[in-house]
Amino acid sequence: MIDDTPVFWSAPYQKEILAKIVEVNENELRFNQALFYPSGGGQPHDLGTMRYQGCTLPIIEVYTVDREIWHKTDSKEKIDFQVDEDVQLELNWNHRYNLMKSHTAQHLLSYFLQEMYECETIKANFDEGKIEIEISKALNLSDVVRVLEESNNRLEEDADVKSIIVNQKTFQEEYKSKIRGKTSDEKRVRMIQLGDFDLVCCGGVHVKKLSEVRGIFLETVKNRVIKLYTGEKGINYTNRQRANLHALEEITEKKDSKLFELVKNKLKENENLEEGNILLLRFLFQKIHHWSEKIQNYSVTLLDIPTLDRITVQAALKEVEEEIFIAITGKNAILYLISTNERIKANEVIDKIKEKTRAKGGGNKGFAQMSVKDIEEPLQLVREVLSSL
């Protein structure tokens, strides 16, 4: 009997192998050994090279057709591949090993998602050092963090990751009832067991020991999709995020025109991102005194943000700091005046502008607006009015 167990199942740490060509279709080849994992199950295919008659050629795609694994190679000149000839296959090990780590990490996360929140894994995608898991119900951030804590603790315990291959009959009799998730109706069933706690049907590639994953790190949780990093990628990502946060903390403690410009420009870019703009504007309003000027003895900020609409301004209003006066020219040439300073009333400033122009508008002492279509420099006019108070 021929043992046709793929090498990526029986020996996932094997990096190279001597194989024979069994079928050729121009630059696409089939070999008698399956060293390269074909794309499938959310995992990208392996990459690597083949040495054939003294040439080293890259393997750029690996895929399955009718259960047979095909390898697409790339070469500048046309090569006449012959069936039965030897080829030396070699994996891009870094790429493969990172996928093995991410894939194993996903098993562990999916186990705890199910165990702790009865949350099923609908779909998982992997890339080098990256995981994306779609789950069956929305979890909040703190729940996901708890799943990560449990998972990372398990990595420390360093359980074995075992590959079990049985025929369908044995699977039915001994394993089927213990499987988490989907079962398999294949003639030959491949299962992956983590320690003594999790058993799933899976045809992917995995590490031998959980500790090899070296940590799972959160990127985002959004609409039932959790994005994560593993290993070095995760460590670097987390450190970078920490550094960014630190830089932001420092900047927001002082007057920094770069941050101010950045937020303002983002507001201009995000024309259709209402929610994003509200968050940005709130942020701006919370820190607005950093960027205010003194007119008379009042702290005043004058802004021109031509994409800003009334809904966004009003949604961010309650974040405005105390003792400040803000004038913004927004979308459709509307001037918004916001005051948290008892001594300057927004509607009174509007009335003063009305005396000088024919513009229409009104409001209350905290918030007022007017159309400034026909006024050339409305913010300059606000400055003049405030200076004359």
Kindly list the residues in this chain that would bind Zn ion in the complex (CB under 5 A): 202, 204
Q: Nearest distance from residue 103's CB to Zn ion, in Å?
A: 5
Q: Nearest distance from residue 43's CB to Zn ion, in Å?
A: 8
Token pair listed for 1: 């009997």
Closer to Zn ion by CB, 80 or 196: give it. Answer: 196
Return all residues near 363 (Cβ < 8 A) that are at least 6 apart.
Answer: 337, 346, 347, 350, 369
Q: Which residue is nearest to Zn ion (CB)?
A: 202
Closer to Zn ion by CB, 91 or 370: give it. Answer: 91
Q: Which helix (H) or strand (E) holds 70?
A: strand 68-73
Closer to Zn ion by CB, 111 or 217: give it. Answer: 111
Q: Nearest distance from residue 179's CB to Zn ion, in Å?
A: 13
Closer to Zn ion by CB, 98 or 341: give it. Answer: 98
Q: Nearest distance from residue 74's CB to Zn ion, in Å?
A: 29
Runs of H (alpha helix) within the chain: 7-10, 93-117, 141-157, 168-170, 231-252, 257-269, 274-286, 310-316, 346-356, 378-387
Distance CA 235, CA 221 (A): 18
Q: Nearest distance from residue 110's CB to Zn ion, in Å?
A: 9
Distance CA 135, CA 225 (A): 6
Q: Nearest distance from residue 107's CB to Zn ion, in Å?
A: 6
Closer to Zn ion by CB, 73 or 114: give it. Answer: 114
Distance CA 360, CA 17 (A): 81
Which residues are 226's β-sheet partners? 133, 221
Which residue reads 């079928």 in tokens? Answer: 23
Closer to Zn ion by CB, 129 or 361: give it. Answer: 129
